Amino acid sequence: MDSSPFHKLQGRIARAAKAGLLASVCAVALAGCMSVSTQRVSMVPVAAADPVYSITLSRVVIAALPNESSVTLAAGSQWRRVGALPQGDVYRSLNGLFTIQTRRQGEAYLVASSGKLLGFYLPGESAFMALSRPVTLPVEMRQ
């Protein structure tokens, strides 16, 4: 077996390449865990003549996302209806920016229909992300 400096260097390069490949595979796998399936949609904004509806959550709501993570909506948080999608009405937070992690961190609006949270509208991506399963929204509605 030849233990010349050239062969030692060659072995170190091969090990470094394997380690780099392993790190890349792990990064792609981790990114896949955070990524979620979305569908492109166009939100129809609330018309100026329409009444403005807002809702207040009467208790904490925990919703499971398709990437096996979850989001928590605070009790007392307020949401104003800003539009509609084929999936339901779209509500934007009145308590500041509400964000969730998908492919990247971004603002999210609630999408609800018949008293249930169905998913989130992602305005930065013009996309709808469905929840793993709908969650009942404990709301107080105001006009």
Residue 27 — very low, low, confident or very high, per pLDDT cuts 50/70/90?
A: very low
Question: pLDDT tens-digit profile of 53-68?
Answer: 899 999 999 999 988 8
Distance CA 141, CA 6 (A): 75
Q: What is the pTM of this model?
A: 0.73
DSSP 92-110: EESSS--EEESSSEEE-EE
Distance CA 100, CA 104 (A): 8
Question: pLDDT tens-digit profile of 71-97?
Answer: 999 999 999 999 999 999 999 999 999
Query: What DSSP element (H or E) covers 80?
Result: strand 78-85
DSSP state for residue 38 in the 8-state scheme: -
Domains of the chain: which residue ranges?
1-34, 39-142
